[in-house]
Amino acid sequence: MFSKSNVLATILGFLTMFLLGYAIWGVATVSFFEVHATNSIMKDPPDMLFIALGNLIGTFAISTLYSKWAAGNYGAASGFAFGIWIGIFVGLGMGLLWYGTSELMDMTGHLVEAIIDIVFYGIIGAVIGYVYQKTTR
C-alpha cells in the first residue's frame, strides 16, 4: 500500500488535484457556479487545510485503487480511463444524488459539474498512471 509508486503517484496526484482544482473551481468557473447555485453554502474564506487534506486522502485512495485496477498495465492512457470512471461516479452518480436530495445547484450546474469532474479526474488519473508507469519496474 505504501510502495514507492503509490507514494509518488499520491504526491504528484495531490499537487495536480489541488492546483488544477483551484484553477477550475477557484478561478475559472466561479461566476458560472454563482449563477447556478440555489443556496450559498460556501465558507468565506474556504479552509485550505481541509481542502488539502481531502485532496491528499482522495489521491491516495485513487492511486491505491488504480494500482489494483490497472493490473500492471500502467500508463497515462489507462490512468485517464480509470480517472474517467472516478469522474463519472463523482460527477454523475453523486451529482444526481445531490440534485435529488438537496438544493445546492440547478440541473445545469450539476451537469456542467459532471462534465468538469469527468475531465478533472481523467487528468488526475493520467498523472497517477504515468507515475506508476515510470516507477514500476
Residue 120 has pLDDT above 80, yes or no: yes
**What would the DSSP string read from start to end of 39-100?**
S----SS--HHHHHHHHHHHHHHHHHHHHHHSTT--SHHHHHHHHHHHHIIIIIIIHHHHHH
**Quick one: pLDDT at residue 66?**
98
The one-letter amino acid at 73: N
Nearest Cα to Cα of residue 67 among 137, 134, 9, 121: 9
Put residue 112 in one of left, alpha, beta given phi > 0 → left and psi -120 to 50 → alpha: alpha
**Quick one: pLDDT at residue 1?**
78
**Quick one: pLDDT at residue 42?**
82
Each residue of 8-23: pLDDT tens digit? 999 999 999 999 999 9
pTM over 0.85: yes
- Measured in whole angstroms, the distance separating CA 2 from the mean position of its chain's CA atoms is 21
Mean pLDDT along residues 98-112: 96
Annotated domain spans of the chain:
4-135
CA dist 13 and 92 (Å) reads: 22
The DSSP letter of residue 103 is -
Each residue of 24-80: pLDDT tens digit? 999 999 999 999 999 888 888 999 999 999 999 999 999 999 999 999 999 999 999
Residue 137 has pLDDT above 80, yes or no: no
Mean pLDDT along residues 111-120: 98
